[in-house]
């Protein structure tokens, strides 16, 4: 498979523009479908402790159905990394992401699954995010299941050039499919 010929910055810009064109209705209806698939998948895998995120910029909303069967923790930007907290109280944090502002913090080793957003994915599970490396640092050395969620058009038919610190996902769930990633 061909490696994407542009740099990550260019791919990031193109992917963000592509997602910005989605209507609110498109995002909502497909998020419902993806969230339902995700909840069923987590139930099938018997996952009890999961880290999710609150969406921005037309990202998939993964949390419609998952909270019924599992303990859901959320990411919080702390200096140059992400922390994990369980809370029902959120406020806008860095980059306007809703983050837990109080609650119980947990350790990465207690988490069985990470739900990860992206601007683009390849079929090997590599992703393009916003370029800060927060998720790669969080996922580094974790044995937990790593699931990317996105719209089907975000899964690209080329390989994203990975860097040595990039972490590959195990699965990608879209409104059309559950893709087991090839590494």
Which positions make up the binding site for ATP? 8-12, 127-135
Beta strands in the chain (DSSP E): 49-52, 71-78, 81-86, 90-92, 98-100, 104-105, 113-116, 120-122, 127-128, 145-149, 155-156, 171-173, 178-180
Place of tokens 């542009």: 6
Residue list for the binding site for substrate: 59
- Residues near 163 by beta carbon (within 8 Å), at least 6 away in sequence: none
Taking the C-alpha atoms of residue 121 and residue 124, their distance in angstroms, rounded to an integer, is 8
Taking the C-alpha atoms of residue 84 and residue 73, their distance in angstroms, rounded to an integer, is 6
H runs (alpha helix) in the chain: 8-20, 24-44, 134-139
Taking the C-alpha atoms of residue 68 and residue 71, their distance in angstroms, rounded to an integer, is 8
Residue list for the binding site: 8-12, 59, 127-135
């Amino acid at each position: 498979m061909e490696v994407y010929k542009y740099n990550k910055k260019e791919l990031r810009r193109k992917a963000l523009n592509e997602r910005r064109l989605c209507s609110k209705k498109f995002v909502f209806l497909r998020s419902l479908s993806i969230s339902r698939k995700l909840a069923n998948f987590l139930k099938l895998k018997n996952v009890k402790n999961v880290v999710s995120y609150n969406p921005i910029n037309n990202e998939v909303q993964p949390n419609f159905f998952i909270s019924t069967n599992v303990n859901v923790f959320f990411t919080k930007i702390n200096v140059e990394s992400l922390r994990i907290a369980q809370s029902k109280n959120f406020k806008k944090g860095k980059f306007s992401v809703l983050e837990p502002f109080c609650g119980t913090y947990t350790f990465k080793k207690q988490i069985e699954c990470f739900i990860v957003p992206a601007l683009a994915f390849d079929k090997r599970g590599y992703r393009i995010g916003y370029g800060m490396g927060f998720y790669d640092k969080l996922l580094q050395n974790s044995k937990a299941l790593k699931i990317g969620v996105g719209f089907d058009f975000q899964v690209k038919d080329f390989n994203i050039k990975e860097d040595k610190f990039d972490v590959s996902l195990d699965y990608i769930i879209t409104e059309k499919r559950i893709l087991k990633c090839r590494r």
